[in-house]
Amino acid sequence: MNFIYDRMMKTIVLTFMIVMPLLVSGQMRVPHIPKADLALTNKQAIEVFGALRGVSHLCKEVVFPIYSFRSRIAYGVSIGKDRLIAKASEVAIQAHLMTLNKKNETVRLTVIGAYPDHDLVLLSAPGLGAPAAQWGDSSTLEEGSFLTAIRPDGEAQAMGVLSVHERSLRQTDQGYLGVAIDPREMGEGVVIASVFKDSAAHKAGMMPGDTLLKIKGKIVKGYYEVSTMLRRLKVGEKPELSIVREGQPRLVFPTLQARQVQQYESRRMKSMDGEQNRVRSNFSNVLQSDMELGVEDTGLPVADLEGRIVGMVIARAGRISTLILPGEEMKDLLSREPQEIDMKPSRPIRGAGRSSESMSADDREKLLRKLQDLLEGG
């Protein structure tokens, strides 16, 4: 894992350059670290890098770069029988699709069909000769679990942790409480800034100034934790909320409604998050990680420290927000036949096969809208 080693060495050197002058000048003292803690840290580091070697070998055999002309646009994961699965909205609208097998030979790619409700496309890759990815069960992962996305050369494209467990991104699936909370709220419990009229919170008797302490028995700590926990709840669910009003504890059981407001992104947030995949919402079941990946990194397999491929990168939703289709979702999906989609462009190149056809900008936009509509309607 030369990539990881190089990054660690650069970090150590930079830290040394910053810290040493402070130590020499007496402006900084080195804290005492017990030998037992140092030994535990070293042991954990050895376990992490040892596990990464196994993960790398497992993943690199089943992941392949996907090119349109000479530009890499995504990755694909082998499902056996000379077939790849990849992100539809990044791959299906492109022409001259190809990949390289493990012998570094060019393999032409053609579209077989799609799974529009997951924004996935199935590609034929004659001569790929790769084994099928073995999908692991991500339901056993805990938030904070270490994850890594592996490239075809066996290096880690990114590392991070599981920040949000499996949840739906479809607004029609997410329960809506109807309260506003100051994002600056930190620590145990959050103060309700306002309650929207006729919302679930309003009908349950919640009021501005109430302090929300627990959701379904779990203590909440700050705005972002509350937001994450509420997004996991379903329409029609009646979660137990523990609140405090004027020093008196209360329990309320709001019946969550369908979301009535549209989410939006400010220009500032969009500029901070950088480029994102055009199709990055309305998935029925995704994991979220803080791995930093590019829009062209969709399709990378994601593995845990046990060496299991627990999912596939499906979208870059923000600077440190990567969406992952869970392994069990992939397994279930691939047991079904893909849906046929009209991939025929308006002006094919004379004498060229389907994988070499030229698609006009209008055709690309129409197909992208069709995929988006199917995803939202799924």
pLDDT the model gives residue 129: 93
pLDDT the model gives residue 355: 37
Q: Which residue has the tokens 């810290």?
A: 19
How many Cβ atoms sit within 10 Å of the Cβ of residue 375? 21
Q: Are residues 188 and 245 in the same domain?
A: yes
pLDDT the model gives residue 311: 93
pLDDT the model gives residue 96: 86
3-state secondary structure of 67: strand
For residue 200, tell me if it sits in a domain.
Answer: yes
DSSP labels for 124-171? E-TT---PPP-B--GGG--TT-EEEEE-TTS-EEEEEEEEEEEE---T
Instruction: Give residues with Cβ within 8 angstroms of 171, minimum separation 6.
Output: 258, 259, 262, 263, 282
For residue 21, tell me if it sits in a domain.
Answer: no
The number of domains in the chain is: 2
- Cα torsion for 366, 368, 371, 374, to the nearest 10°? -60
By CB neighbour count within 10 A (0-12 exposed, 13-18 middle, 19+ buried), where does 341 fall?
middle
For residue 236, tell me if it sits in a domain.
Answer: yes
Identify the CATH number of the domain in which residue 182 sits: 2.30.42.10
> Considering 258, 276, 293, which residue would you say is the last residue of a domain?
258
> Considering 258, 292, 327, which residue would you say is the last residue of a domain?
258
Q: Are residues 127 and 184 in the same domain?
A: no
Predicted TM-score (pTM) of the model is 0.60
Q: Are residues 180 and 251 in the same domain?
A: yes
Cβ atoms of 72 and 296 within 8 Å: the answer is yes
For residue 32, tell me if it sits in a domain.
Answer: no
Q: What's at 245, amino acid-wise?
A: R
Ordered mean pLDDT values, 10 residues apiece, the chain (378 residues): 48 51 52 62 56 68 92 94 92 83 92 87 94 90 87 88 74 75 76 88 92 91 79 84 92 83 43 52 78 90 88 82 90 88 43 40 56 52
For residue 345, tell me if it sits in a domain.
Answer: yes
Report the alpha-carbon distance of residue 173 to residue 281 in Å, rounded. Answer: 12
Q: Are residues 119 and 188 in the same domain?
A: no
CA distances from 183 to 74, 186, 271, 357 (A): 35, 8, 20, 49
C-alpha closest to that of 124 among 348, 355, 351: 355
Q: Are residues 122 and 179 in the same domain?
A: no
Strand duo 63-68 + 257-258: pairing: unpaired
Report the alpha-carbon distance of residue 197 to residue 200 in Å, rounded. Answer: 9
pLDDT the model gives residue 362: 58
Report the alpha-carbon distance of residue 279 to residue 231 in Å, rounded. Answer: 19
Q: What's at 184, amino acid-wise?
A: R
For residue 197, tell me if it sits in a domain.
Answer: yes
For residue 159, tell me if it sits in a domain.
Answer: no
C-alpha closest to that of 182 among 203, 212, 157, 206: 212
Report the alpha-carbon distance of residue 95 to residue 68 in Å, rounded. Answer: 6
The enclosing H or E element of 307 equals: none
Domain that holds residue 252: 175-258
For residue 201, tell me if it sits in a domain.
Answer: yes
Identify the CATH number of the domain in which residue 113 sits: 2.40.10.10
Report the alpha-carbon distance of residue 211 to residue 170 in Å, rounded. Answer: 28
Q: Are residues 118 and 182 in the same domain?
A: no
pLDDT the model gives residue 29: 53
C-alpha closest to that of 163 among 232, 89, 241: 232
Cβ atoms of 200 and 257 within 8 Å: the answer is yes
CA distances from 176 to 40, 171, 254, 284 (A): 44, 9, 10, 16
Q: What's at 63, amino acid-wise?
A: V
> Considering 203, 225, 258, which residue would you say is the last residue of a domain?
258
240-244 own/partner pairs: CB under 8 Å, 24+ apart? 240/214, 240/215, 240/216, 241/204, 241/206, 241/212, 241/214, 241/215, 242/212, 242/213, 242/214, 242/215, 242/217, 243/192, 243/206, 243/210, 243/211, 243/212, 243/213, 244/189, 244/210, 244/211, 244/213
